[in-house]
Structure 1
């Protein structure tokens, strides 16, 4: 709607006294209009660079180049692009990278396959994974998903040896993530059962360094990349104890897939945040804060610590709408694989931090009118997390 303007004219009067000429008015000062300041557009490069330096430092201490095998079994353009991106990053940093193409990936590059036989999507991928598992020269394996669909792809994720799983998709690592078990005995990866480690509590450790004889549990690359982005922009408070540095933050995560949305919600909640997990058919709240207040009559310090938060997040049904979630969220992460899905800018909380994780842009073009920081993509950080895991 056009902005209304009001024009005033001086009133005309008739006087019997002689008319005198008034001095001309001084020219009105020029009015400078400035646009409303927009939030910061933060590219992932600056965040990735600090981890690139960390990875290069680790490589400098390695006895040999770590070897990563990528398995491409699909003709999907995004998968092929990601494989090429992985190759470039590995070569730039000094990793050895081998891309093994099977199934439809062979057809798509004109290599035939079986004497001119046309191979289907995913054909031969299971055999390629088993071969890489058994190859002693291979340190890490990544498979470019999706291939068949959620159920069969999940099966393939479990075939990758947990000793070589750089993407953190094996059930052992997912179990640890959901149960807030951050460190593990490497020998436990050789057993068929999940880890029996201890969930992190405020009394277990004040550092992110594993105790003697333990190593960090691998965390899925994309959720970990998002956490690192949030640490970089100050959403995490470093003054607070390790494992509770997102306390006081409310985060909406739009998508509840097992690759991104659900593990991310669990990670953030286990770090102290209140997380509103939004999916197509429901909204859930992830939090490790008990809903019942601690007993004020108790004088036991240990009981008060237990009452402050659970060892790991708890999931509750939420009666909030998406609009109500966004109105109270300090951070909004969207990972909806649809070009048509957009988060409404008008629903956002002023000054929030927004991260787009989907291949498509899930936020409207004017997102920075409300957001203080907008991160349009995290792919460059994700690949550094994968190499860091390796």
Structure 2
């Protein structure tokens, strides 16, 4: 029996309905600023999607575009100005930045209470402490929301997270192991001796490594739950545009998994929805 589709679009729509209620009860209109530097086409698409989500929910959005040759110092000044704007609740720097910029230091400059991406060291550190009431990175938070929405019982289950990035893999592992989720977590990475064996023993597999269709059918035990975080552009001459989007999980995994998130339409919509949720949380906290 093929896997049930873990539909991120439906989960995101459900979350948005709950956010509308919170926004209507908020003392101020939540306000998100998106800062984009350069002319990367994919980045501009992502920014437009975020602005549309804001419009749909009644969140005010400010869109700041800076040319690719902008200096690090100019972006720093823009961030400081946004930090000081009391009408603003969320600041997002769209990745990737031009190669001459130090993205980490710019992230560190954002006021942690306005860091709706959840990448500031202070916010990442709170997850280690089990303090999950603040700004949590949107993608791992979206995965947790999807699993709960699908009524997945994680207690005592073996969960394998493939990938150890600071913004997805590592916080994902911490969230799965946190009180209330209570999974037993293994992190698989490039130095893992037998990644396939680790995945085969898992009840839940979260693939977030950025390698197209790396997780094959023979990596997943029958009945496992698989969440595909990856989104990769791969050449495909059969497509008019010459490429297609592929996740980190091969489509044949649907033959053995019990629940599988699609790419696209899985984690992607949840990442944007959690960005909106973080913006609302920040507005509530600043005006409680």
RCO higher in 1 or 2 (8 Å CA, sep ≥ 6)? 2
Query: Which of structures 1 and 2 has the bigger CA Rg?
Result: 1
- Report the Cα distance in structure 2 between the residues aligned to 1:148 and 1:389, rounded to whole angstroms: 26
Q: Look up the SS of the partner of 2:62 in the other structure.
A: strand
- Which position in structure 1 is the counterpart of 2:273? 384
1:273 aligns with 2:183: yes
- Which position in structure 1 is the counterpart of 2:195? 322
- Which position in structure 1 is the counterpart of 2:161? 253
Q: Deviations over 1:317-369 (max 9, x none)?
A: xxx61111111111111122244x52111121101111111222111121110
* Conservation of the 8 A alpha-carbon contact between 1:70 and 1:142: yes
Q: Look up the SS of the partner of 1:136 in the other structure.
A: coil
Q: Look up the SS of the partner of 1:62 in the other structure.
A: coil
1:349 aligns with 2:221: yes
1:103 aligns with 2:91: no
* Conservation of the 8 A alpha-carbon contact between 1:73 and 1:121: no
- Which position in structure 2 is the counterpart of 1:19? none
Q: Deviations over 1:156-185 (max 9, x none)?
A: 111000121112112111111012134xxx
Q: Deviations over 1:211-239 (max 9, x none)?
A: xxxxx222111111011111122223xxx
Aligned length: 260
Structural mapping, 1:38-187, within 5 Å: 38-104=2-68, 119=69, 124-147=74-97, 152-182=102-132
- Which position in structure 1 is the counterpart of 2:260? 374
* Conservation of the 8 A alpha-carbon contact between 1:121 and 1:147: no
Gaps of 5+ in 1: 1-36, 105-118, 183-215, 237-245, 283-319
Distance 1:121 1:351, change over 3 A: farther
Point out the structure with the larger helix share: 2
- Report the Cα distance in structure 1 between the residues aligned to 2:191 and 2:94, rounded to whole angstroms: 28
Gaps of 5+ in 2: 233-246, 280-288
* Conservation of the 8 A alpha-carbon contact between 1:250 and 1:328: yes
How big is the alpha-carbon RMSD for the aligned residues of Structure 1 and Structure 2?
2.0
- Report the Cα distance in structure 1 between the residues aligned to 2:159 and 2:73, rounded to whole angstroms: 40
- Which position in structure 2 is the counterpart of 1:20? none
- Report the Cα distance in structure 2 between the residues aligned to 1:354 and 1:127, rounded to whole angstroms: 42
* Conservation of the 8 A alpha-carbon contact between 1:122 and 1:147: no
* Conservation of the 8 A alpha-carbon contact between 1:121 and 1:148: no
1:336 aligns with 2:209: yes
- Which position in structure 1 is the counterpart of 2:139? 222
- Which position in structure 1 is the counterpart of 2:151? 234
1:121 deviation in Å? 8.3
- Which position in structure 2 is the counterpart of 1:365? 251
* Conservation of the 8 A alpha-carbon contact between 1:47 and 1:381: yes
Q: Look up the SS of the partner of 1:124 in the other structure.
A: helix
TM-score calculated relative to the size of structure 1: 0.63
Q: Look up the SS of the partner of 1:362 in the other structure.
A: coil
Q: Deviations over 1:49-102 (max 9, x none)?
A: 221111100111123321110000132233211101000000011111111011
